[in-house]
Amino acid sequence: MNFPRLLLTALLAGATAAPAAPSPDDQAKFLAGLAVKDPLLSPLCQNAGWSTHAASLQKKWSGMETRQLAPARQWSAANPDLNRRTGAVFYPFSGPDALHACTFFPKASTYILCGTEPVGSVPDITRMTPAQITADLTNLRTALEMMLATHYFITKDMRVDLSRGTIHGTLPLLYIFLARTGCTIRQVEVTPSQARIQFTGRGGKKQTLHYFKTDLSNGGGHEAFLSLCRQHAPGVTLVKSASYLMHSDGFSSIRNFLLSHSSVIIQDDTGIPYRFLNKEGWEVKLYGTYTGPIRLFSEYHQEDLAQAYARTGGAPLGFAFGYFSQSSKGVLIQATRR
């Protein structure tokens, strides 16, 4: 007796069911200017706005690959203290820079990043108008411009760049970096203050990236970030282009945390002051050259670091690290717990 009613309900459900939204991996590839297979997203790759985006991003990415990423991968692969690390990577003050975390530590199981930039969102692109898509892709290229021209972001610019448009925040840049480094995104979970991305790396390993929007200053409410790091300790710490924040007593808590929870620290001179690493219990290796900070941060010159470089000389590096964009001025400090 109920059959006709059930049949009608089923037919109506089939007629009105909306097509499934593209997967996060397809959306990431689209934002990265890479070809996608999703039947709804693929036609949007024919739009002039996407074609311009893909061509521009490819050109800038190729330059970054040759100048920065390939030499950094080679350096890491030849470094016995790094190439066997398969645990967690702590990357404080990273912002959306998943790129260098994955480049230096491609075998890591977990990447834990944080910054003051918002998590943001990547909505269903197929429900956006062509004009919206073009505008948001342009915004993303603007947000990436400094990173791809040098190798770092500028925080005050990101606050503006990542607040525009429908596709906004840190999440779309994390998508782009993962897609462009050959990763496949499997699952994404997002809250206003956190993002967790599960993905398969280029080598086929299942990995997880966490991003926290948090303030790492003393009393800044960063317990969620530190709690996850504790769960994965000891980890490998990466610090670059960190505005010399840990040179200040206002960031002593995160400085002490990293010193006590890290097995290896890879940083430029903007990270933990050299005097904290040049102590018993740490083996320190210097790479590149130290010429002091850029003018904006001239007050953070480290005379003891300058003397260490003058005394021992820096081992070859071959890529930019620190606030100088020239590879010849790259400065990298590696501290390994004995």
Q: Which amino acid is at 287?
A: Y
- Residue 97 DSSP label: -
Q: Which two tokens stand for residue 166?
A: 């429908």
Pair of tokens at residue 6 = 């059930």
Distance between CA atoms of residues 200 and 206, nearest Å? 4
Residue 88 · residue 229 · CB < 8 Å: yes
* Tokens (6 digits) for 295: 């003018």
Alpha carbon distance 163, 139 (integer Å): 9
Q: Which residues contact 151 (CB under 8 A, 6 or more apart)?
A: 64, 68, 100, 240, 241, 319, 320, 321, 325
Q: Which residues contact 19 (CB under 8 A, 6 or more apart)?
A: 40
Whole-Å CA distances, 196 to 124, 211, 229, 266: 18, 7, 14, 24
DSSP single-letter state for residue 119:
-
Structure-token pair, residue 76: 């890491």
pLDDT tens digits in sequence order for the chain, 338 residues long: 443 444 344 344 444 556 688 999 999 999 999 999 999 999 999 999 999 999 999 999 999 999 999 999 999 999 988 877 889 999 999 999 999 999 999 999 999 999 999 999 999 999 999 999 999 999 999 999 999 999 999 877 877 878 888 999 999 999 999 999 999 999 999 999 999 999 999 889 999 999 999 999 999 999 999 999 999 999 999 999 999 999 999 999 999 999 999 999 999 999 999 999 999 899 999 999 999 999 999 999 999 999 999 999 999 999 999 999 899 999 999 999 99
Q: How far apart are CA 334 and CA 286, in angstroms?
A: 6
